[in-house]
Amino acid sequence: MDAFSLSGLRALVTGGSRGIGLALARGLAEAGADIVLLSRDPAGLEAARGKLASTGRTVDVHPFDMERTSEVAAMFHRIVEGSGPVDILVNAAGVVLRGPAEEVSLADWDHTIQLNLTAVFALSQAFARERIESRRKGRIILIASLMSEGARRNCAPYAASKGGIRQLTKALAVEWARHGINVNAIGPGYIQTDLTRPLWTDPDFDAWVRGRTPLGRWGVPEDLASTAVFLASPASDFVTGQIVYVDGGWLATF
């Protein structure tokens, strides 16, 4: 099982104050990685740091709004200067704005694409530049979605952003493989988080998800952690450009 160990490595997790980001950070910490959490919520970051204390790993926190894409590279440099080199990057920050496509404002469209796609590229680029310059290998994990493959009504900006993540995963994997940087994504199914609360608290939608998912339940953020450890560890040395769907069998049925 040594191939799954992250001992001696440091992971930066965006959106790390709660939900999927926090669950992935805990999984990586339990596998041995020191953690850097990034979120725009300072109080949430301090609460998350406390929740990870039991892992025994070093946990640094950095408040930052990932929509400030022009500042991402400088922010990443400050983290490396202050916390040390980052070996694993997990891009978990994201947003969903729901509504009929004909009513979506361009401001809401820009907000979704900026956070879910542009910021992901900006931070991945900053990470890759540092890895290439230092001649060190690295791992990047993006967060895809069932809507990287299909779409639902009332989610056009989100579906567009996650379709972009699907292709960005492949493009970056192909481009940076020669530098020893593996780029993969995790594709969650329907996961119970604060972001999806309007869905899992709706009795009709809840019943639809449970009935449509072969394993018969919603996922929880912790269901994704082991996949993140795999993609961050030497166990996945020959895996790049892939989306691993953790969806209870959702995409396997029709």
Mean pLDDT calculated for residue range 8-25: 96
Both tokens of residue 174? Answer: 């192909």
What residue ranges define each of the domains in the chain, with the CATH number in brackets?
A: 2-192+221-246 (3.40.50.720)
Q: Which of 64, 76, 121, 158 is catalytic?
A: 158
37-77 pLDDT, tens digit each: 999 999 999 999 999 999 999 999 999 999 999 999 999 99
Statement: residue 1 has pLDDT above 90? no
Question: Among candidates 140, 24, 20, which has minimal Cα distance to 87?
Answer: 140
State whether the Cα torsion 254-229-92-218 is positive or negative: positive
pLDDT score, position 254: 75
Length of the chain: 254
Residue 142: how many other CB atoms lie within 10 Å: 26
Percentage with pLDDT > 90 across the chain: 94
Beta bridge partners of 61: 37
Is 245 one of the annotated active-site residues of the chain?
A: no
Residue 237 identity: D
| Summary mean pLDDT of the chain | 96
Confidence of residue 195 (pLDDT cuts 50, 70, 90): confident
Residue 220: the pLDDT is: 95
Under the phi-then-psi rule, with left for phi > 0, alpha for psi from -120 to 50, and beta for the rest, what region is 222?
alpha
Q: What is the DSSP string of the chain?
A: -GGG--TT-EEEEETTTSHHHHHHHHHHHHTT-EEEEEES-HHHHHHHHHHHGGGTS-EEEEE--TT-GGGHHHHHHHHHHHH----EEEE-------S-GGG--HHHHHHHHIIIIIHHHHHHHHHHHHHHHHT--EEEEEE--GGGT---TT-HHHHHHHHHHHHHHHHHHHHHGGGTEEEEEEEE-SB-SSTTHHHHTSHHHHHHHHHHSTT-S-B-GGGGHHHHHHHHSGGGTT--S-EEEESTTGGG--
Smallest CA-to-CA distance from 218 within 235, 184, 195, 237 is with 195
